[in-house]
Amino acid sequence: MTADLIDFLRRREAIIADHAWRDRDPAGHLDALQLVSQEISNWAVSHHQRIDPRLRHYLANASFQKALAHLEETPGGDREF
């Protein structure tokens, strides 16, 4: 379900943008970023054969902003495969 991936990608962006959290608790901020990045990687592995080549490329290269933009630009990108 691409909605899960979109959620992970948006959550990652939100974590990165939370400078107050990063400044207050650098270790916790990094842990959260690593966790969501791992969730994205796990999603990509489990859906590898069912996603389009461009999205697969973005995820394999950790181009997460491009992956999110691709999903948001793709008609039906927020629905199941």
Q: What is the pLDDT of residues 22-77, one digit of tens each?
A: 999 999 999 999 999 999 999 999 999 999 999 999 999 999 999 999 999 976 65
pLDDT score of 78 more than 80: no
Interaxial angle between packed helices 53-60 and 64-73, expressed in degrees from 0 to 180 and rounded to the nearest 10: 160
- Residue 66 Cα to chain centre, angstroms: 10
How far is residue 4's CA from residue 7's CA, in Å, rounded to a whole number?
Answer: 5
Cβ(47)–Cβ(40) below 8 Å: no
Mean pLDDT of 7-20: 98
Amino acid at 19: H
Cβ(19)–Cβ(25) below 8 Å: no
pTM above threshold 0.95? no
Predicted local confidence at residue 1, as pLDDT:
66
